[in-house]
Structure 1
Amino acid sequence: MNPAPRGRSAGFAPSAYYDEGLRAHMLRIYNYMGLGLALTGLVAVVVAATPAIYVPIFSTPLKWVVMLAPLAFVLFLSFRIEAISAGTAQMLFWAFCGVMGLSLASIFLVFTGTSIARAFFGAAAMFAGMSLYGYTTKRDLSQFGSFLMMGLIGVIIASVINLFLGSSALQFAISIIGILVFVGLTAWDTQSIKLQYAEHHDSETSQKLAVMGALSLYLNFINIFQLLLSLTGERE
């Protein structure tokens, strides 16, 4: 009897043991992501409510360090995940979420609480729907990967350009396209995470995959939220 091929067909093979393990793996990822968002929100609220913290940060060039620090964490985790332990990866993920909260504290100084809540729940609905689709669909979403990555690069370049132009029309276009890109990435990443689990990694590797999966989904959610807030938010 020929062994089942590795990859997509093996990943979706009907097996009670496989299904139970996959559910546990995905639950761990969503738990990491949920706790990370909670930590981010808590830090953001505390910092925004404490002038002694946010004034020295957001009124000085230090704000650029705070804004760019999350990117440094993402790059380090992405390129060094193989060389670090699962415990270290988890610690870096929590540190990243905390720093992201520090970076996002400024939204509470700019937008009304109602519009922030509205954008959050709107982002949550979009994220949940597309992640569920990515998890349950039998359609191969890998074909959209290159298109979504090109869209992501385009959004990043346009955002950098608009830092200097300050165009409201361009920002509107960036928000619309960006939301579509990150909504698509949510489904794509969810299916990719599911397929990675099918490769039957050891416990240490599975834990690191869970951290990286949570990081990917966390970033998608945060970007959907920020773009939706930019598009619909009411300023103080």
Structure 2
Amino acid sequence: MAQFDALRTGSVSGARAAEIDQGLRAHMNKVYGTMSVGMLITFAAAWAISGLSVTTDPNLAAAQLNADTYLTQTGYAIYASPLRWVIMFAPLIFVFGFSAMINRMSAATAQVVFYAFAAVMGLSLSSIFLVFTGVSIIQTFLVTAIAFAGLSLYGYTTKKDLSAMGTFLIMGVIGLIVAMIVNIFLASSALAFAISAIGVLIFAGLTAYDTQSIKNEYVAHAAHGDTEWLGKSAIMGALRLYLDFINMFMFLLQFLGNRE
């Protein structure tokens, strides 16, 4: 918060401070707007792919899903063939690649890549429409949206410096990923419950932390007129908050979702 406090107390001259203040609001609007479009792409892609993956016609079936529902050839390839492992880990690989290459992209290219990532994430998450009822997915999404809005608002407005949380939360994410990979093979319901509970807390904290971090990064660079960086920064900020939302939603779905 030091950069923003300096701006407000006048270490940056009046006209420039007002310009940065106005620019910050526009920057955050772009972050939230880009994130929201990414969310729409993800859930539209997930819904469309899940619709192509199931059928009630046994003549079109590649495998039986339950008593009166079958997987199509598309569904079998996505959810039952070895391709499912590629689809499962594709978003993680995409994020690392995107983060490594964004400095060599234009802001416009970075935005297109972000939307492509959102579509890939939709493919990876499409199975939720086969596992959980549509009503419970919508309810969980609304709960997540309300929680996310409150946490992000806290991160934006609080005077408390949340930077100390960063290292702890990132280490928590790494531990969470390792535990999830281990539980793929153990299939422990107790471990899955613990992972979901800890995951909700970690990504709740990251939502507030990332919002404050995005705000402070804007102020630091805007004060030096680094406009080229700011366009890409909005995309990366949208990606960070998008991942916080998606992960919090998925972990909450384990608690609030009603299974088909």
- TM-score, normalization: structure 2? 0.84
SS at match of 2:81: coil
Q: Pick closer, same or farther for the CA change 1:173–1:12 going to 2, 3 Å.
A: farther
Q: How many residues align?
A: 231
Q: Percent identity?
A: 53
Which residue does the alignment assign to 1:229?
253
Distance 1:7 1:78 in 2: 25
Q: CA deviation at 1:220?
A: 0.3
Counterpart in 1 of 2:185?
A: 164
Larger Rg belongs to: 2
Separation in structure 1 between the aligned mates of residue 190 and residue 9 of structure 2, nearest angstrom = 48
Letter in 2 for 1:132: L
CA deviation after TM superposition for structure 1 residue 12, in Å: 4.7
Q: Deviations over 1:88-130 (max 9, x none)?
A: 2111101000010111111001111111112111111111110
SS of the aligned residue for 2:40 comes to: helix
2:239, 2:126 → 1: CA distance? 20
Give the aligned residue type for 1:230. Answer: Q
2:91 is aligned with 1:95 = no
Moved more, 144-153 or 39-48: 144-153
Deviation at 1:59, TM superposition (A): 2.0
Equivalence for 2:25? 23
Higher relative contact order (CA 8 A, sep 6+): 1
Cα RMSD (Å) of the superposition? 1.6
Give the AA of the match of 1:50: L
1:126 aligns with 2:147: yes
User: 1:206 maps to which residue?
Assistant: 230
Matched AA of 1:26: M
The answer for unaligned runs of 5 or more in structure 2 is: 11-16, 54-71
Q: Is the 8 A contact 1:11 1:197 kept in 2?
A: no
CA–CA separation in structure 2 for the residues paired with 1:77 and 1:26: 21
Say if 2:243 is the partner of 1:219.
yes
Letter in 2 for 1:30: Y
Alignment of 1:68-107 (within 5 A): 68-107=89-128
| CA distance in 2: counterparts of 1:77 and 1:204, whole angstroms | 18
Q: How does 1:2-41 map onto structure 2 within 5 Å? A: 7-13=3-9, 15-41=17-43
The CA distance in 2 between the partners of 1:30 and 1:64, in whole Å, is: 31
Q: CA deviation at 1:55?
A: 3.0
CA contact (8 A) 1:186 1:217 kept: yes
Q: Report the CA distance between 1:145 and its aligned residue.
A: 1.1
The match for 1:43 is 45
Aligned-residue offset at 1:75: 0.4
Is 1:140 the equivalent of 2:129? no
